[in-house]
Chains A and B, each alone.
Chain A
């Protein structure tokens, strides 16, 4: 993976920061250094023609395929080039991936489209135009060869970076025609292969991005080196809603290496020094006064009351309704009414928040671990009140994302404000404590279910009410419709519910506070999946039915979901767990992928749950790289088990009580269950839309796990995490 420098056919210096930012001489040389680091060991990238914006063919007939979406471990640096290569017909052994720059994307009219990697969007959001890009370039290369040979293009084929003319047996390497082909018009219409003709897509092809990660090469934002760089450590106000009152730099100003002690915005302070450790030591000794009066009500009980009140408040919005629910409730012999709750969660990306920036009068240069380089560009542009053309964003690999580094760009703002105050390049790194206590948390959420049954236990009607802080209201108000954040009802609205329930209604309201909320892998579905699929088991119990068989009935009009459900039950040998082991099942659709999971666990005599096995079936419609998909499912399941068993952030007067891995634990090697992933792509059988994969393993896990706990103990977990419940046998 490199960040090469190739001259485009349009005369644009790829990654040409100097041309973009104008006069950033120091920055440009620092960029050269960073570049040299990035390509270390990979050799210098020769100037080569850009066939189209996505594809460079080098003189040695190797192919550079550009990647616009971030890579945080979800494999975009392999799976996205595969989509291009499938149609380009280049030799995969000679393919290298290269990030594009957000600044250049802006300057070239967004020729690379969207750069965001959130919402499991990387593949499903770009597969069509990436395959098209490959087909366009192949068409241009073949047209050039055919013209030289004076034969019809239709008689020529491309394979492994070589074009052949069948009738004459002539052949030519891509590299020999690439320069001339790049001058040809890009064909607007190309025919894409039928999925049955794919040879690369659907295989676990060689990964392009793994070696540097295994040899310790500097690929992450935190590894950025810029000559003359200083280091910043940051302390934000310990309580959300609080502000910086005053600080006394006198004691730390003279400490070794310290160069600056500065406020950052109105709620943080930074120490800048020659090394990060010097900055950190000085920051720990800095006396700061905060005004935390605004945070007085930000404790769990008042927050819980606020959400409960929100369930029936006047601003509640109806999201979806079928049938006649009031009549169903009136006819009910029995009403079941229960409340569920899911806690605040933090992200704890393995690489704490970090960002390197250099800000001068001429412009700004930023090295960012971003899930959304265009959001970083926009954020920095606004924070510094600069013209977009004067800001260069270098997208580095991320040490974890999970939603922390998409639209939440607080770390980028801090880095550029510090760098602006200092006037030299600065690498800002948060301590882990700063990271855990200043996250954009998965929202604390409450759900209330009300279900009516006839005297035989048959479900007559079901009402769901939800209240939480809205992530859209916090980070993307422009994505709300009529002031409503429909994500709050994710999994209950429209097609997503998937079940046939005759009389059904869902309502929501939002309550935002100074505690920032953000996107956490699977977003609202990570909570709503738990609320819904746990309650389905409660409904099945009233009906006196097995949870799997009961779901089958509810899926009577949903063959796609039913196929996944049946497959996971069969793979898990549902109903036939070993003695002492208990099963739970759940199934959720996310981003047009259906995912079913069965969890097997036991409870020891001290009441500790042990997860032995998780079986999962995923229908994402299409799969580009099965092994990456498996890895994403494995990771999602481990993240979800950790969150379900132990994950919570508790606030007291606006202060997060969790600070590091000792009080916000994450699953370790000795706790990992057997995970069996079965990919079951339906290959267009139920429709053409591609499904997402990165988050899809999360939503069914918590309910499947808690349903298994119920099977083992008769105790229904309605508030996460599990650790807060006594599971000992009575």
Chain B
């Protein structure tokens, strides 16, 4: 029986073993390659997506477990207009190789949804599961603060689903 999925506001019916991690369904079945494979063991955060607004490691999340959960990927985060985090990422020139940055941005978006004005400690707690091998951490921190400021007291989460 096909697995039913809701990703970035679209419904999909996918012929796939429900044990398959969401990451590979996104990448290889749906062609959403913005979510990236880094470790396969929830150690690096490159594959971070949102399920019902919460940050999840898609490399260990079995697609059959998602049920009616609404999945948001980096492609959906700024689909209508760039998320303030994406703008801040460009303003601070955060990426070096950039491979982990989709996961970093999704993690940060979940943080700002929960805590619109995070302290350094909040940022440490939320972001320390996401590895950047290029070492862009200081810029990630600065960009999160810029995005938080630009989002003001308005709607936390911006364009996130």
Q: Name A residues whose Cβ lies closer than 8 Å to a Cβ of B.
A: 72-75, 207, 210-220, 222-223, 225, 231, 256, 275-278, 348-352, 397-402, 429, 431-433, 627-628, 631-632, 634-639, 660-662, 666-670, 672, 675
A-B contact pairs, 29 of them (CB 8 A): A210-B98, A213-B95, A214-B86, A214-B89, A214-B101, A215-B82, A215-B86, A216-B33, A216-B34, A216-B74, A218-B34, A220-B36, A225-B33, A231-B28, A275-B28, A276-B28, A349-B133, A350-B134, A351-B38, A351-B97, A401-B97, A628-B93, A632-B96, A638-B137, A639-B133, A661-B39, A661-B44, A661-B131, A666-B133
Contact status of A666 and B73, CB under 8 A, knowing A231-B28, A634-B138: no
- Is the beta-carbon distance between B136 and A220 smaller than 8 angstroms? no
Q: Does B149 contact A (CB under 8 A)?
A: no
Contacts of B134 in A (CB 8 A): 73, 350, 400, 631, 635
Find the B residue at minimum CB distance from A224: B33
CB distance from A729 to the nearest CB of B (A): 27
- Is the beta-carbon distance between A668 and B128 smaller than 8 angstroms? yes
Contact status of A639 and B135, CB under 8 A, knowing A216-B73, A661-B44: yes
Q: Name B residues whose Cβ lies closer than 8 Å to a Cβ of A.
A: 16-17, 20-21, 24, 27-29, 31-41, 43-44, 46, 73-75, 78, 82, 86, 89-90, 93-102, 105, 123-125, 127-141
CA distance A412 to B128 in the complex (A): 33
Contacts of A432 in B (CB 8 A): 38-41
Find the A residue at minimum CB distance from B19: A281
Find the B residue at minimum CB distance from A675: B138
CA distance A635 to B131 in the complex (A): 12
CB distance from A235 to the nearest CB of B (A): 14
CB distance from A273 to the nearest CB of B (A): 10
CA distance A213 to B100 in the complex (A): 9
CB distance from B55 to the nearest CB of A (A): 14
CA distance A219 to B34 in the complex (A): 9
Checking A211, A225, A352, A398 against B97 with a beta-carbon cut-off of 8 angstroms, the contacting residue is A398
Contacts of B33 in A (CB 8 A): 216, 218, 222-223, 225
CB distance from A41 to the nearest CB of B (A): 11
CB distance from A682 to the nearest CB of B (A): 25
Contact status of A352 and B37, CB under 8 A, knowing A72-B97, A74-B96, A210-B95: yes
Contacts of A349 in B (CB 8 A): 97, 133
CA distance A628 to B136 in the complex (A): 11
Find the B residue at minimum CB distance from A219: B98
CA distance A74 to B27 in the complex (A): 26
Find the B residue at minimum CB distance from A666: B131
Find the B residue at minimum CB distance from A225: B31
- Is the beta-carbon distance between B99 and A351 smaller than 8 angstroms? yes
CB distance from A368 to the nearest CB of B (A): 15
- Is the beta-carbon distance between A207 and B102 smaller than 8 angstroms? no
Find the B residue at minimum CB distance from A399: B99
- Is the beta-carbon distance between A397 and B96 smaller than 8 angstroms? no
Contacts of A222 in B (CB 8 A): 33, 36-37
CB distance from B100 to the nearest CB of A (A): 5
Contacts of A352 in B (CB 8 A): 37-38
Contacts of A634 in B (CB 8 A): 135-136, 138-139
CA distance A397 to B38 in the complex (A): 16
- Is the beta-carbon distance between B93 and A631 smaller than 8 angstroms? yes
Contacts of A635 in B (CB 8 A): 96, 134-136
Contacts of B41 in A (CB 8 A): 432, 660-662
CA distance A351 to B98 in the complex (A): 10
CB distance from B12 to the nearest CB of A (A): 15
Checking A218, A431, A638, A669 against B128 with a beta-carbon cut-off of 8 angstroms, the contacting residue is A669
Contact status of A661 and B43, CB under 8 A, knowing A210-B90, A215-B34, A669-B141: yes
CA distance A520 to B86 in the complex (A): 31
CB distance from B85 to the nearest CB of A (A): 9
Contacts of B93 in A (CB 8 A): 207, 210, 627-628, 631
- Is the beta-carbon distance between B40 and A350 smaller than 8 angstroms? no
CB distance from A120 to the nearest CB of B (A): 14
- Is the beta-carbon distance between A211 and B135 smaller than 8 angstroms? no
